[in-house]
A and B are shown apart, each in its own frame.
Chain A
């Protein structure tokens, strides 16, 4: 090394270092570690490569990532919780503002008004879209938002049972169990109709009881179904004194009814689709909102309020109801959450502001048309049932291979060889569907790409 310094460490060496050491009257920093017992000290260098120049770091990472096959190279038909949507350039530019990106939780509100106002606007827009009373400024992802929602419902009702659809993403179910089991909450599932894909209302009714804290219903469902009966779930819950949790897809609210309007007490969603690229599944944006004061007091996470300066002259924003949170209430807090996904909240605010009512409705329309275009293109394939269910589809649908010679694994392998990432296999988690996969279509899938998928499928299935 020509210099004893490092680009990120101003006082690593040189005159600054000498001044610091001199002012403390020490010769080596080692003296500041003298209180640490020898037996726990590391007496060798770490075996970690590095101290590379920036250029070399960049090229090493580029070389590694080069091996990935992205949705820019292959046609992708995967969704199931992470979606390939177009993120407007302005959203990316706004999220890259380092005043937002490098700051932290706005503990000092007066010097952090920008972040606070944006998060307030994010909360307001999601609230208006969903029709609930209040929305927090984010949780880790859609699955942990559901976990927290279940715990809120238990705290408010004093009941310990949560009902969720049988057709829920298996990751989400695993996370939900991890968020509930330790405090004695039981999670049970209710079925779906094998023909329509709608929720099985009789099964739900038979399981819904005075022990039920809440019922989750997802619109659209995990299978991409728009279920006309979904809107009945909240009133069924309320009859039994239970709460209704509606899982929604943010873009779909461009055309679908706000869950709050049909009685949802809590709303949850994954907001990656309106804020960021897929990024191999993370970060996500956990969205959580609720109705009524009781739930609000039990809601975890940061909440931003609009107020004024103490002199009453100016509008101002700050974090409110902090007595719910861990840094004040410790073991009595509503949750342990501290760091969340604020930057994606900023992205979502920018996204919704850019698209506006017209853009969001338009995007819904595009996705709904394309999804059904794909269904039409695939539906006549021999030995298949596409779509598996008869309900209306938005963004996703199930394709089933009925021919015993075919399997999802084999077909997906063929797709891959043609530069296509096929749908998510449901074989392991939904054995009742046989050889089935979940296909996802967004505005990113061109008609040509869908035609290519259909042609390849035809070819593989020997039509």
Chain B
């Protein structure tokens, strides 16, 4: 039986004891001190901290034990299946981790002379070419730090494009399907666009008739993911592209769901003008508990002139930065991107190549359909919309919920007791009591069976013993958390409180040992 570690680990501040230290920074040498004299006295009085900085005081072993214990209270793909829909929680290859552990990467600075960073520039140039080939786009910028960051850049490029045609004031509307990831409408709104939502048809795809009604002179673009969040391939994508392009808009591809299309279908060939990829999804870089990720953005030939600077060019001998991009939007973040993530993705692609990437896509789809068939055969959940799914599917627990009062979230919590992570819940919003399941290619038959059994078991249990499900989880580090209390204005607690004894001790200490030379 699964049982997660539960350490009752106190807060750092509760473990703190005056006088301890966990790391000793180097001190300036006697010579350096002698030369500068009492330089600390130059700190303006207005800027001087009174007392010591309020941080906990712990030794190195205590700190390491604290964090290691907490790590044991965290489920991860290295422990078991993590079927969060649209998050593509793959196994992250260990060789990609080793590839970045070198001073040749860790200890290089983005402002170094080009001649001293030829290796990383070559890698980035090569990665750009690979991603361009994989997606069918003309050029790629590696700058965005995440998928949503890429979307925002995409929206900036759409603005720049319409501005260049003198139509920015007119093209104020961004269209998104009702099944879109939440980031799409949020990115568009952040870039100043009005968001229009186009509904899905009975098959779970964009309703072409409804789309035709909303496009027009005000259309800036359409943001869509394909396969969509239901896991259904938008088979009318070519018609959709025509409708948007005929109206003068641009088509944006949200690459969150690109995994099942690797080597099979390219966004560029579907008519997309701008795309982003989530390297932390499709290209197996670790999700980091919520980042860092990387969200490279690709464009067609005619949009290259808007890409962020610098581009990386190769003249046959050396690699160099190109800041001479005619109508560049500028920078979307400081420096060049989440480089550590880019190198991991590069290693991943070399590990797989063309054949391997296609194998990734096909196996992800095979795994997902195997799981879906097994779950549907049990006669439990409903599957709204058409059966054909690619990398993910969205089950509905609505019938069960009406009958027993057990909700999708309860089922998800009960699944945790069975040693698997839960699916994404309540998304997309067009499915009632939604459980959104994605099983990537890295899951074995045994993993898939365990997940299928878990999904079916909690459904059955909800009918026989609804309370056991509603009160779940029981086997995790803590039992069901009071989320209402967590966010209620009266009980909201966003930080620890420092005991007054600790505060007094701090205030009575000198902030800095003044230099004695």
For residue B255, CB closer than 8 A to chain A, the reply is no
Are the CB atoms of A11 and B366 closer together than 8 Å? yes
A463 CB to nearest chain B CB (Å): 18
Q: Given A70-B104, A366-B28, decide whether A129 and B476 contact each other with a Cβ distance below 8 A.
A: no
Chain B nearest Cβ from A25, distance in angstroms: 9
Interface residues of B in 326-347 (CB under 8 A from A): 329-341, 343, 346-347
A189 at the interface (CB under 8 A from B): no
Interface size class of A (residues with CB under 8 A): 35 or more
Residues of chain B within 8 A (CB-CB) of A368 are 39-40, 43
B134 part of interface (Cβ distance < 8 Å): yes
Most A CB within 10 A of own CB, among B53, B66, B373 = B53
- The docked-state distance in angstroms from the alpha carbon of A73 to that of B119 is 15
Sample of 19 A–B contacts (CB below 8 Å)? A6-B352, A7-B351, A19-B445, A24-B370, A49-B350, A51-B353, A68-B104, A81-B334, A101-B289, A111-B473, A305-B494, A307-B483, A316-B482, A336-B190, A352-B55, A361-B511, A369-B40, A392-B43, A447-B28
**Residue ID in chain B nearest A70 by CB atoms:** B107
Question: Judging by beta carbons under 8 Å apart, are A262 and B334 in contact?
Answer: no
Q: Mark A298-340, 1 if CB is under 8 A from B, else 0.
A: 0000111111111111111110111001111111110111111
B369 within 8 A of A: yes
Q: Which residues 193-232 in B have Cβ within 8 Å of A in the complex?
A: 195
Counted as pairs of residues, one from A and one from B, with CB atoms less than 8 Å apart, the total is 738
- B147 and A339 contact, CB distance less than 8 A: yes
- The answer to whether A9 touches B441, judged by C-beta atoms less than 8 angstroms apart, is yes
Report whether B330 and A41 are in contact in the complex, using a CB–CB cutoff of 8 Å. Answer: no
On whether the beta carbons of A338 and B148 are closer than 8 Å, the reply is yes
Partner of B48 from the list A19, A78, A257, A357 (CB cut-off 8 Å) is A257
Report Cα–Cα, A257/B494, bound state, in Å.
22
Within the complex, which residue of A60, A125, A171 is in contact with B331, where a contact is CB–CB below 8 Å? A171
A278 B104 Cβ-Cβ under 8 A:
no
In the assembled complex, which residues on chain A have CB atoms less than 8 Å from the CB atom of B292? 282-283, 339, 341, 343-344
Q: Which 7 A-B pairs have the closest CB atoms?
A: A50-B353, A281-B335, A281-B110, A343-B288, A228-B44, A342-B290, A114-B74
The answer on a CB contact under 8 Å between B477 and A110 is: yes
B130 in the interface (beta carbon within 8 A): yes
Complex CA gap A424/B78 in Å reads 41
Given contacts A100-B76, A138-B291, A337-B148, contact A8 B53 (CB under 8 A): no
Question: Is B25 within 8 A of A178, CB to CB?
Answer: no
A residues within 8 A CB of B295? Answer: 339
Q: Are B27's CB and A72's CB within 8 A?
A: no
Specify which of B71, B148, B156 is in contact with A326 (CB 8 Å cutoff).
Answer: B148
| A376-393 Cβ-contact flags toward B at 8 Å (1 or 0) | 110000000000000010
Given contacts A100-B71, A318-B486, A376-B35, contact A124 B495 (CB under 8 A): yes
B336 to chain A, nearest CB (A): 5
Task: Quote the shortest CB–CB distance from B217 to chain A (angstroms).
Answer: 20
Q: Does B385 contact A (CB under 8 A)?
A: no
Q: Which of B49, B147, B263, B332 has the largest count of A CB atoms less than 10 A from its CB?
A: B49
Of A60, A93, A115, most buried by chain B (CB within 10 Å of CB) is: A115
Structural contact, B480 and A309, CB atoms closer than 8 A: yes
Instruction: Report whether A178 and B331 are in contact in the complex, using a CB–CB cutoff of 8 Å.
Output: yes
For the complex, what is the distance from the CA of A19 to the CA of B54, rounded to whole Å? 60
In the assembled complex, which residues on chain A have CB atoms less than 8 Å from the CB atom of B406?
none
Q: A58-B95, A99-B78 are in contact. Are A306 and B445 (CB under 8 A)?
A: no
Any A CB within 8 A of the CB of B324: no
Contacts of B458 in A (CB 8 A): none
Q: Does A90 contact B (CB under 8 A)?
A: yes
Q: How far is the CA of A449 from the CA of B434 in the complex (A)?
A: 61
Total chain B interface residues with beta-carbon distance under 8 A = 214
List residues of B (376-426) whose CB comes within 8 Å of A's CBs. 388, 390, 412-413, 416, 421-422, 424-425
Chain B CB within 8 A of A27 CB: no
Q: Which residues of B contact A306 (CB under 8 A)?
A: 486, 493-494, 496
Contact of B122 with A64 in the complex, beta carbons under 8 Å = yes
Q: Out of B156, B186, B476, which one reaches A178, CB within 8 Å?
A: B156
* Closest chain A residue to B64, Cβ basis: A90
Q: Is B246 an interface residue when CB atoms closer than 8 A count as contact?
A: no
Interface flags, A247-262, vs B, CB<8A=1, else 0: 0000001111110001
Contact between A309 and B478, CB atoms less than 8 A apart: yes
A93 contact set on B, CB distance < 8 A: 64
Q: Are A282 and B477 in contact (CB under 8 A)?
A: no
Task: Indicate whether B322 reaches chain A with its CB closer than 8 angstroms.
Answer: no
B residues less than 8 Å from A184 (CB atoms): 192
Q: Nearest Cβ distance between residue B368 and chain A, in whole angstroms?
A: 9
Q: Mark A195-214, 1 if CB is under 8 A from B, else 0.
A: 00000000000000000000
Q: A17-B366, A309-B479 are in contact. List 14 more A-B contacts (CB 8 A).
A: A11-B363, A58-B95, A60-B350, A65-B105, A70-B104, A99-B76, A120-B495, A125-B12, A182-B192, A280-B110, A283-B340, A306-B494, A310-B480, A355-B23
Does B297 sit within 8 A of A, measured CB to CB? no
Distance in Å: Cβ of B14 to nearest Cβ of chain A: 10
Q: Name the CB-closest residue of A to B339.
A: A280
Contacts of A192 in B (CB 8 A): none
CB distance from B102 to the nearest CB of A (A): 6
User: Does A2 count as interface, using CB distance less than 8 angstroms?
Assistant: no
| Residue B461, interface by CB 8 Å | no
Provided the pairs A54-B351, A58-B95 are in contact, do residues A280 and B289 lie with their beta carbons within 8 angstroms?
no
Report the minimum CB–CB distance from A317 to chain B (whole Å): 8
Question: Which chain A residues border B195 with CB–CB below 8 Å?
Answer: 330-331
A104 in contact with B82 (CB, 8 Å): yes
Nearest-CB distance from B315 to chain A (Å)? 16
Contact A284 B185 (CB under 8 A): no
* B332 A278 Cβ-Cβ under 8 A: no
B-side contacts of A338, CB under 8 Å:
146-148, 182-183
Instruction: Say whether, besides A21-B366, A336-B152, A361-B53, A102 and B480 are in contact (CB < 8 Å).
Output: no
Q: Report yes or no: B32 in contact with A110, Cβ–Cβ below 8 A.
A: no
- Return A450 CB to nearest CB of chain B, in Å: 8
- A105 touching B355 by the CB < 8 A rule? no
Looking at the complex, which of A30-38, A158-166, A237-245, A396-404 is the stretch in contact with chain B? Answer: A30-38
User: What's the Cα separation between A443 and B27 when bound, in Å?
Assistant: 8
Assuming the contacts A8-B441, A443-B25, asked whether A333 and B182 have C-beta atoms less than 8 A apart, the reply is yes
Instruction: State whether the Cβ of B259 lies closer than 8 Å to any Cβ in chain A.
Output: no
- Which residues of chain B (2-36) have a CB below 8 Å from chain A? 4, 8-9, 11-13, 20-29, 31-33, 35-36
Inter-subunit contact B478/A353 (CB<8 Å) = no
Partner of A102, one of B39, B123, B286, B493: B286
